[in-house]
Each structure stands twice: as structure tokens, then as C-alpha cells.
Amino acid sequence: MTGIVEGVRVERAGPLALLQDAGRFGVRRLGVTQGGPVDIHSWAWANRLLGNRWGAAALEISLGGLELVACKTLRLALCGADLDARLDGNDLPRWRAFTVEPHQRLTFGTPRDGVRAYLAVAGGFRADPVLGSVACVPREGLGGHDGLGHPLKAQERLFVDSRSQDEADTRNTPQAIPPSEMPHYGEPAQLALIPGAQIADFSGASLFDAFNRSWQVDDRADRMGVRLLGPRLACRISALVSEGIGLGGVQVPPDGQPFVLLNDRQTIGGYPRLGALTPLACARLAQCMPGQEVRLIPKPLAAAQDEYRRFRAGFA
Amino acid sequence: MTATARMPRIEQAGIDAWLVRLFSDIDESNMPWLTALVRRCEEDFGAALIDLVPSYTTVLVHYDPLILSAGEARARLVALLETLSPDSGEAVQDIKELPVWYDPSVGPELERLERHTGWERDKVIELHCEHVYRVFALGFAPGFAFMGSVDERLALPRLETPRRRVPQGSVAIAGRQTSAYPTMSPGGWNLVGRTPAKLFDRQRKGFSLLQVGDQVRFVSVTRQEFERLGGEVTPVEARS
């Protein structure tokens, strides 16, 4: 473990700050959820701006309120929501890498655009994997900086690999995100949905409504899932035998209001589904505030896979 | 062997998954087919396999879309299903036994079951212990095994108001299913006893004591034996 040293100290914790790698895979048959960043787009870009490998652990900061102090010189990148981030009181631009010196103070205020910001460090934050992953899932008590699934608390520390700070490989690393890739969270979101097997069991009027009317993000929105409010969708199936549900599954319980299942969802469920949002649509939804307007747009599976491969192509 | 097992459906389930539907109804005899499908997917997909979720009648197969296209993944499943045969019953000797202290202090709904059946407590316990259950799925929480099928006479619906805190190890019945809570959690099942068994352990190989397809029997033990095995006797809170 040479080279693993204290990177930042937590001065103030804020509502929710969780260490997240790509997620926990291979154990879902045990009832263990996926975890990982709910906004994979911002998380991945924060890592990419530092030349990190895919899957490096970064900090997911929900709703701001966090205050960190650097313990050493660090290469960092900040992507995702505008949480009024400041470095020693000065505005800190997002979507690019930057260097902090020891004792510099990184603070997050309240959300101005989006919900969650991602702070990555060169080489990734270091913690012992639990069931193969650092992904922090408080409900299961797994992963995170302490291995027990706890959100960050004041006076705790996050560890880094000191060598990565000096030797970051920046040859093939973009210095900033292209403007075309930069989201604007306040605008109405268009969420791509891959139709699922039960789609024909919904009434014709419900399918028209699902894809032509707008939906409002409910205040029941967290890392497990996001409820959408709008026209009541009618399905001739009310319950299925419970089956595995993937990321982005859009289940419709008898109240007719869709529930989009995100990273910390239960592993199996028994409501009929319209289909599944693409990973990038999940990422976009995860940045929506309650009350925000979204639309569901059907997308063929092959086109969705092409889009995802293009997104992943730039990552190591 | 049922007709549906030979006419599986492969359903679209998002950007990186196919859902293989082998059966339409819950049945203990489904499980050797599902465990065989899980094993074959592991063998045939190799590094392209991301995750698998077997559950009652289906297996959700997650593959890596950077390695396989949707069509390629589906073709592998089609080929695999053509030669799928159920796991044999050789593992029958591997029945896992869960010791349970059946007592109203840790299983408050034992009394509800006595009223429901009109039987003495011993007979209720005997009936719960008699059957060798199958694990249909794990879900709800890490290591929580949905097992069945419980004798129809013991099938009690869920509590109208779920408890906010069900103690670790609580053994429970809901409808024709039975389970044990791996950790303290909320829950709406009828509690009948408590097991000292550690159901989920991050240090154990395989992590979960119970795996999908396992055969499980509950064994009634005394309070002394329960405590000797490390069981925690704190009663279920009256208003939990």
C-alpha cells in the first residue's frame, strides 16, 4: 500500500456524499444491488479529464453542503451539477481538471443547476473493495470510504495514490469537456427509453400519453429510483411473478405513475414495465429536481447500444 | 419437464440485458432448470457476462454491450437454450438446515398461526419444519431468500402494517413463502421464530448462506441450543 496517503479531510459533510466506482457486479443474484454513480455521464467525464481508468472511484456529492480541505497537492476534476463550488472562496469552474495545494479549501453551497456533482482525483480515491466494489450503498451497509456503506462524515479522510498526483498521464487526456457533451440540467429532459416486453399490455391511449405528454419528477426521487407524475397509465397486467430488473427499468404500479429504477434499486420486482431508460437517460434523470419536466422518447435497442458505445469509446 | 421449459421466451430488457422466461408460474420444479441456465450462461458468455439474476420463472442475463451486440447476445442464448437440460437431483444430500427457536417472544405471529389453523403450537412448528423448501430467488436485501412452497394451511397474508424494525435472523411466513431476515430491516412478513445462522457474511466464500435453487429445511431447537449457537434472545419490540 505504499503511495496511499490522505488526500482530503472532510470539514463539513453535507446531506449526502458517497464514494462510487462503476458499481458492484456479479452478486445481484444474492440480492445485492448495483450501486455506482447515478449520473454515469458526469462521473465518467470527471475521471476522463484526469486520464483515470474506467471505474476509478469518485465522490458523488448530492445537494452540496460539503466542505473539504486538501491534505496534499492533488489533481482533481469536477463535473455534474452546479452546486456553487468554490476553491478558497473563488468560483470553481466545472467540467475541467485543476490542481489544489495543501490546506486549500473546497466548498459546495446549494444546487443552482442539477442535483449531484462528481469530484474525481487522479488515480481515483482509494478504499478497500467490498464484494468486489467500492460503490457505497448505505441501505446495504456495503462499500464506500469505510467499507460499511456510510456517507462521508465530518473529520473523516479520503485516501489517494500519491504517485498518481505527480505522474498523471495527460497525453491523451482532454483538458475540458467538448461543449456538445455539456448538459444543461434546467432544460426539459428528453429521456430515451428502450421498449420492454410488456409494452403491448398497456392500453393504446396510455402508450400515446407515455410518449407524447410531459412528465413531472416527483419528490420521491433518490438513488433507488425516481417517480414520475402525469397521466395515469393503464396496463392489463397488474402484477408479475418477481423477476430481475435492470438499470433504468420503468415499472408501472397500479397507481399508473411510472417509477424509474436507478442504481440502488431492489434486484427483483413484479410490476409491469414500459421498458428501460438508457444509462445516459438515467444519468440525465438523476440531475432533475422534483417538479422538473421530462419526456419519454422511445429508442430502438440497436441505436441505444450505438450511442452507449460512442460514449464509452473515449474512456480507457 | 414442462412444456414451457422447452419453449422459453427471450425478452428485451434494456441496453445490456435479455430476460429469459422459462416458466409462467411459481413452482419448485422450475429451479433445476433455472440453476442450469445460470451455469450455462456463465460458461458460454465468459468475460462478456456482467451479471445474472435468477428469480422464480426467469433469468435476467446482463452482458457487456462493448463486447457483444444485442443480436449476438441473443443468438448465444438461443443456442444455449436448445441444449439446456435441468440440473440433476444429485445435490439432494446438500439440504441446508436452518436451526430455529420457535417462540412467541421472537415470533409474535406464532399465535396468529395457531388461531388461523386451530392447532397446537407444536403442530404448527412441525408443519413448518416438515417440508424441504426451495430457494426461488434472493432479493429485498442481501441474502434474503424467498423460499417455498409453504403448506397452504400455514399461508398467512402479510401484515397490514409492516414493522419498521424486524430483528436479524427472524424467520417469517408470507403467503406460501418463507424466509429469514439477514439483518435488521423493515418488513411485513409474519414472524414465527429466529435463527442464529448468519445468513449474509461478507467474509464467507459466496457471501450468502442460501443461494438460488438451494434446498432448505428448518429445524426446531430449544432456547438453550439457540443461545449456544450464538442466537440473540431479545424479544421483538411490541410496537416495532
DSSP assignment of B183-234, as one string?
Answer: SSEEE-SEEEEE--S--B-TTSTTSBSS-TT-EEEEEE--HHHHHHTT---P
- Per-residue pLDDT at A133 exceeds 50: yes
pLDDT of residue A170: 62
- Per-residue pLDDT at A171 exceeds 80: no
Q: Are residues A194 and A52 in the same domain?
A: no
Residue B210 grid coordinates = 442460501
* ipTM of predicted assembly, 2 dp: 0.95
Of the partner residues A25, A140, A305, the one whose CB lies closest to the CB of residue B65: A305
Distance from CA of A293 to the nearest CA of B (A): 23
- Per-residue pLDDT at A1 exceeds 50: no
Q: Are residues A263 and A202 in the same domain?
A: yes
Domain count, chain A: 2
Of the partner residues B65, B139, B200, the one whose CB lies closest to the CB of residue A309: B65
- Per-residue pLDDT at A253 exceeds 70: yes
Residue A154 grid coordinates = 465530518
- What distance in Å separates the CA atoms of residue A288 and residue A274, rounded to the nearest whole number? 20
Residue A13 grid coordinates = 459533510
For strands B96-100 and B215-220, give the pairing: parallel
Please choose, from the candidates B139, B18, A16, A24, the residue with its C-alpha nearest in 3D space to the C-alpha of residue B8: B18
pLDDT of residue A175: 77
Length of chain B in terms of residues written = 240
- What distance in Å separates the CA atoms of residue A97 and residue A165, rounded to the nearest whole number? 12
pLDDT of residue A165: 83
Q: Are residues A84 and A151 in the same domain?
A: yes
Domains of chain B: 4-87 (3.30.1360.40), 92-228 (2.40.100.10)
Residue range(s) defining the domain that contains residue A201: 189-313
SS3 content of chain B, % helix, strand, coil (to 5): 30, 30, 40
Distance from CA of B174 to the nearest CA of A (A): 15
For residue A278, the chain B residues in CB contact (below 8 A) are 14-15
Q: Are residues A26 and A163 in the same domain?
A: yes
Last residue of a domain, one of A156, A181, A206: A181
Of the partner residues A131, A302, A312, the one whose CB lies closest to the CB of residue B202: A131
Q: Are residues A177 and A193 in the same domain?
A: no
The beta strand positions in chain A, using DSSP E, are 4-12, 16-20, 58-62, 67-70, 74-82, 86-87, 90-91, 96-100, 105-107, 113-121, 157-161, 189-195, 215-221, 225-229, 243-244, 249-251, 259-261, 268-269, 273-277, 293-298
Average pLDDT, chain A: 95
Weakly modelled stretches of chain B, pLDDT under 70? 1-6, 89-93, 238-240
Q: Are residues A94 and A146 in the same domain?
A: yes
- Per-residue pLDDT at A44 exceeds 50: yes
Please choose, from the candidates B93, B92, B94, B97, the residue with its C-alpha nearest in 3D space to the C-alpha of residue B219: B97
For residue A275, the chain B residues in CB contact (below 8 A) are 12, 14
For residue A195, the chain B residues in CB contact (below 8 A) are 12
- What distance in Å separates the CA atoms of residue A70 and residue A73, rounded to the nearest whole number? 7
Q: Are residues A85 and A149 in the same domain?
A: yes
> Tens digit of pLDDT for each residue in A187-204?
999 999 999 999 999 999
Chain A with chain B: Cβ pairs closer than 8 A = 134
Residue the block writes with cell 482509494: A126
Residue A277 near residue A193 (C-beta atoms within 8 A): yes
A168 compared with A125, residue with greater pLDDT: A125
For residue B71, the chain A residues in CB contact (below 8 A) are 302
Q: Are residues A33 and A134 in the same domain?
A: yes
Average pLDDT of span A125-148: 97
For residue A315, the chain B residues in CB contact (below 8 A) are none
DSSP characters for B3-23?
A: TGGGS-EEEE-STTEEEEE--
pLDDT of residue B7: 74
- Per-residue pLDDT at A155 exceeds 60: yes
> Tens digit of pLDDT for each residue in B122-136?
999 999 999 999 999
Question: What is the maximum alpha-carbon separation in chain B?
Answer: 60
Average pLDDT of span A55-81: 97
Look at A246 and B16 and tell me if their CB atoms are within 8 Å: yes
Look at A266 and B55 and tell me if their CB atoms are within 8 Å: no
pLDDT of residue B240: 57
